[in-house]
């Protein structure tokens, strides 16, 4: 599964190289917690201080079904954090430690398998804007985003395609957190 990642740059110009590194590090978090719903990373370049260089701050929020993990790496005294790549690396190392602590706090009850998936069909989607809707068996429509489609297969979906999906509560109601295009043999017709 690809974790939906939002990257925000504050006090600095966006950097494609930094964003790529952040997305790479976020994808690696799945090794420690398999049910990550999304991740929001903010990289901030604070104002210059009199005696020290520009020390970057990294804020990471990892949203999981059983509680969220927040990491804030504020301007440490370590001047290595004048390099934003080092600040990002250290923040993600802290995120891994916190995810491991979170998992241990749950008594090791971490699913290492796919969560129970629902079945549905693609009802409609707006490919050029990167989202769509899945119709469930009871006629409800569930929003999904391009980033929630497994293995980057969003562009291969068509209206009517059968899918398996997990639902999470989003800002505007239920949304599919993971969408797997179903093969012909995965969904049996009820009829």
**What are the tens digits of pLDDT across the range 13-60?**
999 999 999 999 988 888 777 778 888 999 988 765 545 567 888 888
Q: Which domain-ending residue is among 84, 105, 126?
A: 105
For residue 131, the domain's CATH number is 2.40.50.140
Range of the domain at 151: 118-181
Beta strand segments in 45-183, E: 57-63, 69-73, 118-126, 131-136, 141-145, 162-170, 173-181
Q: Which helix (H) or strand (E) holds 86?
A: helix 84-105
**Domain presence at residue 95:** yes
Number of domains in the chain: 2
**What are the tens digits of pLDDT across the range 108-164?**
544 444 456 789 999 998 888 889 999 988 888 999 988 888 878 888 889 999 998
> Quick check: 41 and 8 in contact, CB under 8 A?
yes
Q: Which domain-ending residue is among 105, 136, 158?
A: 105
Region 65-75: mean pLDDT is 66
Q: Tell me: do 87 and 45 sit in the same domain.
A: yes
**Domain presence at residue 158:** yes
Token couple for 2: 């690809």
Buried residues in 10-48 as b, exposed as e (16+ CB within 10 A) = eeeeeeeebeebbeebbeebeebbbbbbbbbbbbbbeee
The reported pLDDT for the residue numbered 77 is 54
Read off φ and ψ for residue 159, nearest 5 degrees.
Answer: -55, 135
For residue 49, the domain's CATH number is 3.30.160.100
Q: Tell me: do 61 and 128 sit in the same domain.
A: no
Region 70-96: mean pLDDT is 75
Q: Distance (Å, rounded) from C-alpha 191 to C-alpha 189?
A: 5
Q: Tell me: do 86 and 40 sit in the same domain.
A: yes
Residue 178: name the closest of 3, 48, 8, 27 by CA.
Answer: 3
**Domain presence at residue 143:** yes
Q: Tell me: do 100 and 132 sit in the same domain.
A: no
Q: Tell me: do 100 and 174 sit in the same domain.
A: no
Q: Tell me: do 83 and 20 sit in the same domain.
A: yes
* Better-predicted residue by pLDDT, 7 or 53: 7
The reported pLDDT for the residue numbered 6 is 92
The reported pLDDT for the residue numbered 50 is 41
């Amino acid at each position: 599964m690809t974790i939906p990642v939002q990257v925000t740059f504050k006090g600095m110009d966006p950097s494609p190289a930094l964003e790529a590194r952040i997305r790479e590090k976020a994808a690696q978090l799945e090794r420690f917690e398999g049910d990550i719903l999304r991740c929001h990373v903010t990289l901030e370049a604070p104002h210059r201080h009199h005696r020290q260089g520009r020390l970057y701050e990294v804020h990471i929020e990892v949203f999981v079904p059983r509680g969220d993990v927040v990491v804030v790496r504020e301007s440490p005294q370590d001047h290595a954090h004048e390099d934003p790549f080092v600040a990002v690396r250290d923040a993600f190392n802290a995120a891994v430690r916190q995810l491991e602590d979170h998992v241990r706090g749950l008594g090791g009850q971490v699913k290492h398998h796919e969560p129970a998936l629902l079945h549905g069909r693609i009802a409609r989607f707006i490919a050029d804007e990167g989202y769509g809707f899945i119709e469930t068996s009871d006629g409800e429509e569930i929003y999904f985003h391009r980033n929630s489609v497994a293995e980057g297969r969003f562009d291969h979906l068509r209206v009517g395609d059968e899918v398996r999906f997990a639902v999470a509560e989003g800002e505007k109601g239920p949304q599919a957190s993971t969408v797997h295009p179903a093969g012909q043999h995965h969904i049996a017709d009820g009829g």
